[in-house]
Amino acid sequence: MKFIVKFFSEITIKSRPVRKSLVKQLRQNIRQVLRQYDEDVVVAGNWDFIEIQSNKDELRALFTNKLADIAGIAHFQFIREFEFESLDAVVEEAIKSYGDVLQGAVFAVRVKRVGEHDFSSVDAERHIGGCLKAKCNALAVRLKNPDVLVPIEIRGQKGWIVEQRIEGLGGYPIGSHDSVLSLISGGFDSTVSSYMTMSRGLKTHFCFFNLGGDAHEIGVKQVSWYLWDKYGSNLGVKFITIPFEEVVAEILTKVDNSQMGVILKRMMLRAASQVMEELGAKALVTGESVAQVSSQTLVNLKVIDQVTDELVLRPLVTMDKQDIIDIATKIGTEDFAASMPEYCGVISVKPTTRAKIPKIEHEESRFDFSILDAAVANARSVSIRSVMADVEKQYQGDVPLVRMPVGDEIIIDIRHPDEIEKQPLKVSGRPVVAIPFFTLEKNWDESNNQQMRLLYCGKGVMSRIHASHLLGKGYQNIGVYLP
């Protein structure tokens, strides 16, 4: 099978050296993603497009899904290639791909011709279109706004029938620009801002401030891994957890109530500015939007930013909340965000919207900064590739693993709804219930504790995490289905 990848429009207008560099990065990213499934896949690039070839035709749907999530691609086409012999032979090839859909349809043929031939592209369109109309019982040929378009390319002695065109993500290839550190809480804003920097070509590391409790950290690790797995082009990045419980406690006991929100953000920027140096990141990323909450007025944002000399990027700064939610829905993080555990320990009763530096500095003079230093020193960094295995270690325990159910077990598919839709789980003679992992505990039926329920996630990592968590909560008869 063969795919042709066309570049994001902004890539094509760059200078020759820059364009070559961007295309090289895109080619590397595509190869990195697809070689997880086919080690022999060929990804070859040139000035105008990238060709992808694989002998594993059964992977067409998988490759299509993966290519659609790689930044830098404007669109890509699934191509059926054949040896060019004559225009009549091209007609027969077109019938194989489009014969059924042309019956009773209004259609047009578009031919792109490259190389030496004794006919023009228009000649080819007329000949092929006339033959297809007669042989496929088509209703009519209409060059403008046809019901069916038959795209054909003739390149020297090769012919291509374009059987499918899929829109890409656009943007620049991830890794083609500098690294950034995204401050991620797992909500709508921070997941969307992280996605936006990734799709603009920035290698995006994740930084989470643990304000208290494992549940929130686990949720953020899950959504960070999801973003990386889907849009990160398999590039290695880090997930950093900074323990901020003691920092929060110090703020709660030492800082005036109205100033707590701004000071907490200042402490986060101070800590993140130190962490980013070790990663070689050139900017911090936040999900802040002007006036969305009290700490995000222009006055407060200016006060917050004064604690660092580093560049702070705010991709959502002028976006409406509903627009942010719409993007979260599109990229698949809405369900994570809606069910994300929240920590509400630092909420001012009457938060300031116009913080003043003298007041803020006075409040911070009571703060023991050795606690902030300790939090940074105890920051934990893991590869995003192993972040879910890291979560699993937090729930060590005896979880039954079942490869072949023999009783009346119920299998619960806890994967993301997008993954379930693309690859439904079918188990002969067994009921399969779909409950996404981010709503698992909320929708758990306690009345059914006597029947064995097996969690399924594909690789067995997330299912073990959630099975251990539920068992630790006192639920019974829970295992993992690992066929």
| Whether pLDDT at 341 is above 70 | no
Q: Is the pLDDT confidence value at 447 over 80?
A: no
> Residue 245: what pLDDT?
85
Alpha carbon distances (Å) from 128 to 95, 151, 154? 10, 11, 12
Residue 291 pLDDT grade (very low, low, confident, very high; cuts 50, 70, 90):
confident
Residues annotated as catalytic are 457
CB atoms < 10 A from the CB of 339, how many? 16
Helix (H) / strand (E) element for 265: namely helix 260-279
Q: What is the pLDDT of residue 298?
A: 93
Task: Indicate whether 472 pLDDT > 80.
Answer: no
Mean pLDDT (the chain, rounded): 89
Confidence of residue 218 (pLDDT cuts 50, 70, 90): confident
Three-state DSSP string of 32-44 = HHHCCCCCCCEEE
333 pLDDT tier (thresholds 50, 70, 90) = very high
In tens, the pLDDT along 111-127 reads 999 999 999 999 999 99
> Between 395 and 64, whose confidence is greater?
64
More confident residue, 13 or 216: 13
| pLDDT range class, residue 137, cuts 50, 70, 90 | very high
Residue 162 pLDDT exceeds 80: yes
15-54 residue pLDDT tens: 999 999 999 999 999 999 999 999 999 999 878 899 999 9
Residues 6+ apart with CB under 8 A from 364: 255, 263, 266
Q: Using 50, 70 and 90 to split pLDDT, how confident is the model at 431?
A: confident
**Lookup: tokens for 198:** 């990734």
Evaluate if residue 346 carries a pLDDT over 60.
no
Residues 79-89 have pLDDT tens digits of: 999 999 999 99
- Cβ of 426: how many Cβ atoms within 10 Å? 7
Amino acid letter at 78? F
Q: Which of 117-121, 215-219, 412-416 has the lowest mean pLDDT?
A: 215-219
- CB-based contacts of 279, cutoff 8 Å, min separation 6: 179, 181, 205, 238
In angstroms, the CA 229 to CA 66 distance is 10
- Residue 3, pLDDT score: 96
Evaluate if residue 461 carries a pLDDT over 70.
no
Q: Which tops the pLDDT comparison, 281 or 423?
A: 281
pLDDT at 253: 84
**Mean pLDDT of all residues in 468-483:** 81
What domains sit in the chain, N to C, each tagged with a CATH number? 2-170 (3.30.2130.30), 177-392 (3.40.50.620), 396-481 (3.40.250.10)
In this prediction, residues 53-81 reach a mean pLDDT of: 94
Is the Cα torsion angle 339, 340, 344, 350 positive or negative in sign? negative
Quickly state the pLDDT bin for 480 (edges 50, 70, 90). Answer: confident
Q: Which residues contact 456 (CB under 8 A, 6 or more apart)?
A: 411, 412, 413, 414, 415, 425, 432, 463, 480, 481, 482
pLDDT for res 69: 95
Q: What is the mean pLDDT of residues 141-150?
A: 92
pLDDT the model gives residue 328: 95
pLDDT given for residue 230 in this prediction: 94
pLDDT on residue 448: 67
Q: Of 103-117, 231-245, 247-261, where does mean pLDDT reach its minimum?
A: 247-261
Give the tens place of pLDDT for each residue, 95-113.
999 999 999 999 999 999 9
